[in-house]
Amino acid sequence: SFEPLASDFYGFESLVSDREKDALMRVRSYMETTVRPVINDYWERAEFPHELITSFLETDVARYGFEEVRPFENSAVFRGLVAMEMARVDASMATFIGVQEGLAMGSISVCGSAEQRSEWLPKMASGEVIGAFGLTEPLSGSDSARGLRTTATRDGESWTLNGSKRWIGNATFSDITVIWAKDTEDGQVKGFIVRTDSPGYTATKIERKIALRPVQNADITLENVVVPESMRLANANSFRDTAKVLRLTRAAVAWSSVGVSVGAYEAAVAYAKEREQFGKPIAEHQLIQDLLAKCLGNITASMAMCVRVSQMLDEGTQRDEHSALAKGFCTSKMRETVGWAREAMGGNGIVLDYEAARFFADAEALYSYEGTREMNSLIVGRAITGKAAFV
């Protein structure tokens, strides 16, 4: 049965239906019982828990966003709360879904043909096919709208891809990767579903990360990789179409960042009630209460923003700048919150076993991926002024 989170101070979870609440509880229970007990060890070893993929996807976390595979009709607020629930226990598992469901399935859903959607979405929802999303390159991150160097050259019914990608999540073990490349004929960015066993495709793990260590990010090289026209995303005709995918995933990252804040805050509250200094639990000291109240303020404001940006998606009024504002704002507040939560735990705040440390480190990745704070500000700035400062 549904148990409201103490950290949902204004009761935003009450906005979703009973059926959605039940589904949310399934995700919470899976994350608490299956992921939480093991994830610090995976984090330390920088390994992804492959053996959990099937059971994780059985909670339907990669299904809710797509008509073709969803178990029931649902709201964007509910899907946001699912992202928050996952990240509240572990941001790496949330990121795995963010890539599989948000970026890879999202690209096929938004930019694919009906045939491409019905071919790939069911297999990806169940985990039979793992996907990745290759936009960023070694020489092009924030400027990927125009700076992409990977090329796609058409020759009759097939395309030849050449170039390199960097930071691509899930890509050391993905079966397919959505590769964004510039058409050498019209100069526009197009999307291709690339089978990772294609000759000329290689993916190499990026080692020694200090955030989201279980997430397997890769450098990809594409040397004369041949992709049939049937695997080109039928409705991806320029970067404007890529941006439609990013608008959705940025709102999801905003929700995940609230989850990361909640995870760290909950750890700090529990710790403050146990840890005694000056003869009483530190929770009874005024300045610790102030730190916790500031965390809760950030969480509550960010949740309110996420709820509204999700409602706007369902209302059909959400634009790029709305999700960009939420992504930039909520990840900034997350960074502040995980810092305060860690601070409230003193030295133990930097030890994995006390939980806040993992959220503290992982926050840095969420802050920078899916568009840095600066780039999301510039998208908002363009909406405010009518002038794009980044082209």
185 and 204 in contact (C-beta within 8 Å)? no
Within 8 A by CB and 6+ apart from 298, the residues are 261, 333, 334, 336, 337
From CA 157, how far away is CA 251, in angstroms rounded?
36
Start-to-end C-alpha separation, the chain? 51
Segment (H or E) for 220: strand 217-228
- 220 vs 264, beta carbon nearer ligand FAD: 220
- Considering the complex, what minimum distance in angstroms separates the CB of residue 135 from ligand FAD? 3
- 141 vs 339, beta carbon nearer ligand FAD: 141
- Considering the complex, what minimum distance in angstroms separates the CB of residue 348 from ligand FAD? 26
Helix (H, G, I), strand (E, B) or coil at 332: helix
- 27 vs 212, beta carbon nearer ligand FAD: 212
Residues 87-116 touching ligand FAD, rule: CB under 6 A, are: 99
- Considering the complex, what minimum distance in angstroms separates the CB of residue 103 from ligand FAD? 6
CA distances from 129 to 164, 221, 294, 334 (A): 23, 21, 42, 32
Instruction: Among 127, 141, 339, 381, indicate the residue that binds ligand FAD (CB under 6 A).
Output: 141
From CA 157, how far away is CA 110, in angstroms rounded?
23
From CA 219, how far away is CA 202, in angstroms rounded?
8
64 and 100 in contact (C-beta within 8 Å)? no
- Considering the complex, what minimum distance in angstroms separates the CB of residue 136 from ligand FAD? 3
x/- track of binding to ligand FAD for residues 319-358 (CB under 6 A): ----------------------------------------
- Considering the complex, what minimum distance in angstroms separates the CB of residue 253 from ligand FAD? 10
373 and 328 in contact (C-beta within 8 Å)? yes
180 and 134 in contact (C-beta within 8 Å)? yes
- Considering the complex, what minimum distance in angstroms separates the CB of residue 377 from ligand FAD? 8
- 7 vs 216, beta carbon nearer ligand FAD: 216
- The residue whose Cβ lies closest to ligand FAD is 141
Q: Does 217 bind ligand FAD (CB under 6 A)?
A: yes
Tell me how crowded residue 15 is: count the other CB atoms within 10 A of its CB. 14
Instruction: Among 80, 134, 163, 328, indicate the residue that binds ligand FAD (CB under 6 A).
Output: 134
Burial class (CB in 10 A: 0-12, 13-18, 19+), 294: middle
The secondary structure of 293-310 as a DSSP string is: HHHHHHHHHHHHHHHHHH
| Segment near ligand FAD (CB under 6 A); pick from 115-123, 130-138, 234-242, 261-269 | 130-138
Instruction: Among 100, 107, 136, 298, indicate the residue that binds ligand FAD (CB under 6 A).
Output: 136
Residues 362-381 touching ligand FAD, rule: CB under 6 A, are: 365, 368-372, 374-375
Compute how many residues bind ligand FAD; rule: CB under 6 A.
21
Instruction: Among 112, 131, 169, 214, indicate the residue that binds ligand FAD (CB under 6 A).
Output: 169
- 261 vs 331, beta carbon nearer ligand FAD: 331
The secondary structure of 53-109 as a DSSP string is: HHHHHTTTTTTTT-TTT-SS---HHHHHHHHHHHHHH-HHHHHHHIIIIIIIIHHHH
- Considering the complex, what minimum distance in angstroms separates the CB of residue 370 from ligand FAD? 6
Residues 3-32 touching ligand FAD, rule: CB under 6 A, are: none
- 194 vs 292, beta carbon nearer ligand FAD: 194
- 23 vs 99, beta carbon nearer ligand FAD: 99
Within 8 A by CB and 6+ apart from 301, the residues are 333
- Considering the complex, what minimum distance in angstroms separates the CB of residue 34 from ligand FAD? 23
- 31 vs 375, beta carbon nearer ligand FAD: 375
- Considering the complex, what minimum distance in angstroms separates the CB of residue 334 from ligand FAD? 15
Residue 127 has phi, psi (to 5 degrees) of 90, 0
Residues 148-167 touching ligand FAD, rule: CB under 6 A, are: 167
Residue 78 has phi, psi (to 5 degrees) of -60, -45
Which residues of the chain form contacts with ligand FAD (CB under 6 A)? 99, 133-136, 141-142, 167-169, 212, 217, 365, 368-372, 374-375, 390
